Amino acid sequence: MSKFVQIHTLVSYPPSNLNRDDLGRPKTAIMGGSQRLRISSQSLKRAWRTSDIFKENLDGNIGIRTKSMGVSVFKSLTNGHKLKDFLKNGFESEQINTPVKEDVAKEWSKAIADTFGKIKKENKDDILADLEIEQLAHFSPEEIDAIDKLMSEIAQDPKKPSKEDIKKMGLLKQKHTAVDIAMFGRMLASDTMYNTDAAVQVSHAITVNKVAVEDDYFTAVDDLNKGEENMGSGHLGETEFGSGLFYTYICIDTDLLESNLNGEKVLVTKSLKALVEAASKVSPTGKQNSFASRSYASYVMIEKGNQQPRSLAVSYLKPITSSDMLSEAIDSLENTRMKMEQVYGPCSDEVKTMNVATGEGSLSELLDFLNQ
């Protein structure tokens, strides 16, 4: 397999507000002297890793990112549930273990949570607040299994943990098969030796055209208001939106991905295919109920090779203004790639494209290309 896989996508979104700033406005950036809409890489990665595509294709190899695992452990212990089942089904989970008394369960839950991050200070208004950690931690399936094993032992011998018990827990795992951690990395401030370097780098998606963020003034009508006394609406509101054709660049270090996944080559290939499919078909969830702005990629280019990776965002320093925006954006991207190869020499060994505008290529061909 080539060391680097590079993915370039063009996705057109109609009026939308997929990724908001602190004021609720669509995120923007200045590029080439003009304002563009922007979707952060964090927003894109979350949409992909929590998508049905990842769940269906990578079942059993997806982690959980949370601050409140200690709370889930406590509730599982006190109700006799298996943690993995409780995380999936809540209190509807089958009782597997003998329920543990609350005081013992809380001490163990705190010790387990403390393994993955610094515990929050006690809160008199919330007796479980000190079971949460201050920073999000990403738990691999192997770590959740290790917690489950420990919980079964606690249920059989329900005593408060000693310092020696805590030292023996061994819940953190350097080797795991959590695809989302392997792809997008993990940082544990409390124990850096269990950090994971991200094998997948994702750009912020940015429009190839300049944009103006617009305001939508809207009203809602009270169904029981017959207009006999009050002719006004029941609610007034305002939201902001924009639209455009977005370019996104993804770079995958396949060697690092394989290393992060403990050398499981088959899982690496499944991961790459799930990522390409999700990047092509899954939209961020922001304001979808208001705008229904779900879109598939109109163009995807995948490059494979051992050469130093590079984005092709320079294709859009000059914003696209043509009425046939998609075709011009595709031409600009392909021309930039060709000219870079003329100047630098081959920037990849193989390339495959899918073009909705011309009906050339297909998603299945792109996925097969990853396996060649």
Strands (E), 196-334: 200-202, 205-207, 214-220, 235-253, 297-305
Q: What is the pLDDT of residue 125?
A: 67
Q: How many CB atoms lie within 10 A of CB 268?
A: 23
Q: What digits encode the pLDDT tens for the residues 146-166?
A: 999 999 999 999 999 998 988
pTM, to two decimals: 0.93
Q: Is residue 61 classed exposed, middle or buried when 0-12, 13-18 and 19+ CB atoms within 10 A define those classes?
A: buried
Q: Which residues share a beta bridge with 81? A: 95
Per-run averaged pLDDT (10 residues), the chain, 372 residues: 94 95 94 97 97 96 96 96 95 94 95 92 76 94 96 94 89 95 92 93 98 88 78 81 96 97 96 98 94 96 97 98 96 98 96 97 97 85
CB hemisphere CA count around 104 (13 angstroms): 17
Strand partners, 236: 219
**Measured distance CA(252)–CA(370) in Å, rounded:** 12
Q: What is the mean pLDDT of the chain?
A: 94
Residues β-bridged to residue 64: 139
Predicted local distance difference test score (pLDDT) of residue 46: 97
Q: Which amino acid is at 190?
A: S
